[in-house]
Amino acid sequence: MASVEAVFREEHGRLLAALVRRFGDLDLAEEVASEAIEAALARWPVDGVPPKPGAWLMTTARRRAVDRLRRDQAFAARLAVLRVEAERAEPAPAADVDGGLPDERLQLFFTCAHPALAAEDRGALMLRCLAGLSTPEVARAFLVPAETMAKRITRAKKKIRAARIPFRAPGADELPGRLPGVLQVVYSIFTEGYAASSGPRLQRLDLAEEAIRLGRILRRLLPAEREVAGLLALMLLVHARRDARSGPDGEMVLLADQDRGRWDRAMIEEGRDLVTVALTGAPPGPYGVQAAIAALHDEAAGLDTTDWPQIVALYDVLLALAPSPIVTLNRAVAVAMRDGPEAGLALLDELADEPRLRGYHPYPAARADLLSRLGRFSEAAVAYREALELAGTEPERAYLRRRLDAIEE
Amino acid sequence: MKYMLLIYAGAADENGGADEGLFEDWMAYDKEVKDAGIFVSGESLADLVTATTVRVDPDGERTVTDGPFAETRELLGGFYVIDVPDLDAALDWAARCPGARGSGAMVVRPVADFGV
């Protein structure tokens, strides 16, 4: 049963996208897509799976939609106007010859990640519409009450309908401007799942895996976009370390102390192949470079055999592509590994007045680490305490407390 | 679908006039909107020193006051109503407006549609 549901979750996004395209209304599409899937769950075990399951679902959903429109003439008239206007903007695609469903999920990706929607709603909508998660599942993933999540999704859908955010993939000329926004939403789902910003658990595996799933769909839809490959590579190469990242009691284990034997080799392999794609053919984008950095960590047997000069060089590339104080911070830590803690600390101290690092606990934590490696324990203790006050998750705080206790002895 | 593009200036002179950019740019934009066949209506508003506020209390008493004045940072300087297929098209037209540049900003709002 669980596997049947997994199949439907995969099929759901495809079906939904095709219905949105056909009827121009997300609510109607969601309603009849769920009805079609319910019908399939009832019928297929009895009648057998039809030869073209996707087409069966689409036909069933379309019939339900037509019934619904017959019952509600005013709604039908409004949708008809929508359709005419949509045609004005973009002619309908040619019908698929072999009866299979054309994959129209790309349009839906761009709708869900539209910059006119609230940033916090984009990820939720993407999980709902493209990953096929139910609203309570999305709510659990983001650790908010189901009611709150339902309101947020309703608000976002209302804006899509009322402001008429189009279901349209950008043309080749707009793609470079719009694609980073889509990738950002997928990556924010990943990071949200990977390092929960608050609460007792360090990792929420489900969200990270959903983000990877979305990344895989996007990669199939946009095979020529190297940053899509880069993003998927980055997620795989980081997620490959999931089992080693926390100890038996959920405590945080830093890269330096991780049991590298527990890293997922198959996932690293897949990620490395994608890094090659991401870095070949033209200057790399920020996701490709970050993936390359993750790959260097994943390939090393330990910290002392990690290629730190290469990592510092990649951070230099990343800084040129997407300057940010957080990248500068990470580069300083890599420099400390290459040239010693003194050199890293000097770079970190240059960031002392950076407003965007105020309240960012990895900054004092990194300083504390370098200070303690230099034997400057009282300064390190001050920095650890500062980091402790800022850290969001309990495992992070526990880790910092252990470090603080160790240097105070 | 109709959208109103509200043109906000980020700075005003002592008369509450918007810092409007080059007149030629506005003329060129206006011509583009009209040539594209999407123009529904549009006006440019006079300086804010000419504005008057009216309120009517529950007893029907009318209060008329001078102003408001440009203490607010964002000053409505004019608007267009355009008819385009979707929000993306409306955002494109807003981005091309001279009012979107410098300290200015455009706010795009769908015109409410009550019934068919």
Q: pLDDT tens-digit profile of A359-382?
A: 899 999 999 999 999 999 999 999
| Mean of all residue pLDDT scores within chain A | 88
Any A CB within 8 A of B88 CB: yes
User: Are A128 and A201 members of one domain?
Assistant: yes
Name the amino acid, one letter, at A116: A
Domain boundary among A292, A317, A342: A317
User: Is B28 contained in some domain?
Assistant: yes
Structural domain of A256 = 223-317
Q: Identify the pLDDT of residue A58.
A: 92
Name, in order, each residue with C-beta under 8 angstroms of A310's C-beta and a sequence gap of 6 or more.
A296
Mutate to test the interface with B, among A164, A165, A173 (most CBs of B within 10 A): A164
User: Is A98 contained in some domain?
Assistant: no
B105: Cα separation from own chain's centroid:
10
Phi, psi of B68 (to 5 degrees): -75, 160
Domain boundary among A317, A340, A368: A317
In angstroms, the CA A298 to CA A244 distance is: 12
Q: What share of chain B is helix, strand, coil (3-state, %, to 5)?
A: 25, 35, 40
User: Is A332 contained in some domain?
Assistant: yes
Per-residue confidence band for A1, with pLDDT thresholds at 50, 70 and 90: very low
Name the amino acid, one letter, at B113: D
CATH, residue B59: 3.30.70.1060
SS (H, E, C) A249-265: CCCECCHHHCCHHHCCH
In the predicted model, is pLDDT for residue A204 greater than 90?
no
Per-residue confidence band for A98, with pLDDT thresholds at 50, 70 and 90: very low
**B38: which 2 tokens?**
């999407």
User: Are A258 and A230 members of one domain?
Assistant: yes
In the predicted model, is pLDDT for residue A205 greater than 60?
no
In angstroms, the CA A187 to CA A232 distance is: 9
User: Are A346 and A407 members of one domain?
Assistant: yes
Least confident of A49-58, A108-117, A195-204, B97-106: A195-204
In the predicted model, is pLDDT for residue B55 greater than 50?
yes
User: Is B104 contained in some domain?
Assistant: yes
Name the DSSP class of B6. E
User: Are A188 and A239 members of one domain?
Assistant: no
Q: Identify the pLDDT of residue A86.
A: 62
CA angle A62, A63, A65 (to 5 degrees): 65
Q: CA Rg, chain A, in Å?
A: 24
Over residues B18-22, mean pLDDT: 66
User: Are A312 and A266 members of one domain?
Assistant: yes
Percent of chain A exceeding pLDDT 90 equals 60
CB contact under 8 A, B87 and A165: yes
User: Is A97 contained in some domain?
Assistant: no
Structural domain of B46 = 2-110
User: Is A99 contained in some domain?
Assistant: no
Q: Do residues A192 and B114 touch, judged by C-beta distance below 8 A?
A: no
Q: Identify the pLDDT of residue A285.
A: 95
Q: Identify the pLDDT of residue A96.
A: 44
Least confident of A4-18, A309-323, A329-343, B54-68: A4-18
For chain B, the residue count is: 116
Number of structural domains, chain B? 1
User: Is B115 contained in some domain?
Assistant: no
Any A CB within 8 A of B95 CB: no
CB contact under 8 A, A89 and B91: no
Q: Identify the pLDDT of residue A288.
A: 97
Q: Following CA atoms A273, A275, A278, A281 in sequence, which dihedral angle do they give, to the nearest 10 degrees?
A: -70
Per-residue confidence band for A319, with pLDDT thresholds at 50, 70 and 90: very high
**How do residues A137-175 score in pLDDT, each as one tens digit?**
888 878 788 999 999 999 999 999 999 999 988 888 889
In angstroms, the CA A30 to CA A49 distance is: 22
Could you tell me how many CB contacts below 8 A there are between chain A and chain B? 35
Q: Identify the pLDDT of residue A265.
A: 96
User: Are A243 and A297 members of one domain?
Assistant: yes
**A90: which 2 tokens?**
């973009």
Q: Do residues A208 and A242 touch, judged by C-beta distance below 8 A?
A: yes
User: Is A337 contained in some domain?
Assistant: yes
Q: How far is A80 from chain B (nearest CA, A)?
A: 10
**A310: which 2 tokens?**
């290469």
Name the DSSP class of A9. H
**How do residues A228-238 score in pLDDT, each as one tens digit?**
999 999 999 99
User: Are A238 and A183 members of one domain?
Assistant: no
Which residues of chain B lie closer than 8 angstroms to A164, CB-CB? 1, 85-87, 110
Q: Do residues A314 and A289 touch, judged by C-beta distance below 8 A?
A: yes
User: Are A45 and A144 members of one domain?
Assistant: no
Per-residue confidence band for B14, with pLDDT thresholds at 50, 70 and 90: low
Number of structural domains, chain A? 4
Percent of chain B exceeding pLDDT 90 equals 62
Neighbours of A113 (CB within 10 A): 23
What is the number of alpha carbons within 13 Å of residue A73 lying toward its C-beta?
0
By C-alpha distance, the chain A residue nearest B113 is A162
**ipTM topping 0.90:** no
Closest by Cα among A274, A283, A289, A363 to A319 = A289
Q: Do residues B31 and B65 touch, judged by C-beta distance below 8 A?
A: no
Closest by Cα among A339, A233, A236 to A284 = A233
In angstroms, the CA A13 to CA A106 distance is: 10
User: Are A88 and A125 members of one domain?
Assistant: no
CATH, residue A407: 1.25.40.10
Q: Is the whole-model pTM more than 0.90?
A: no
User: Are A307 and A333 members of one domain?
Assistant: no
Name, in order, each residue with C-beta under 8 angstroms of A161's C-beta and a sequence gap of 6 or more.
A25, A26, A27
Q: Do residues A322 and A286 touch, judged by C-beta distance below 8 A?
A: yes
Over residues A242-258, mean pLDDT: 85
Domain boundary among A273, A290, A317: A317
Q: Do residues A133 and A34 touch, judged by C-beta distance below 8 A?
A: no
Q: Identify the pLDDT of residue A301.
A: 92
CB contact under 8 A, A89 and B85: yes
Any B CB within 8 A of A88 CB: yes
User: Are A2 and A29 members of one domain?
Assistant: yes
Any B CB within 8 A of A91 CB: no
In the predicted model, is pLDDT for residue A339 greater than 50?
yes
User: Is A235 contained in some domain?
Assistant: yes
Give the closest of A114, A116, A164 to B1, CB-based: A164
Any A CB within 8 A of B115 CB: yes
Q: Do residues A79 and A65 touch, judged by C-beta distance below 8 A?
A: no
User: Are A329 and A344 members of one domain?
Assistant: yes
Percent of chain A exceeding pLDDT 70 equals 90
User: Is A184 contained in some domain?
Assistant: yes
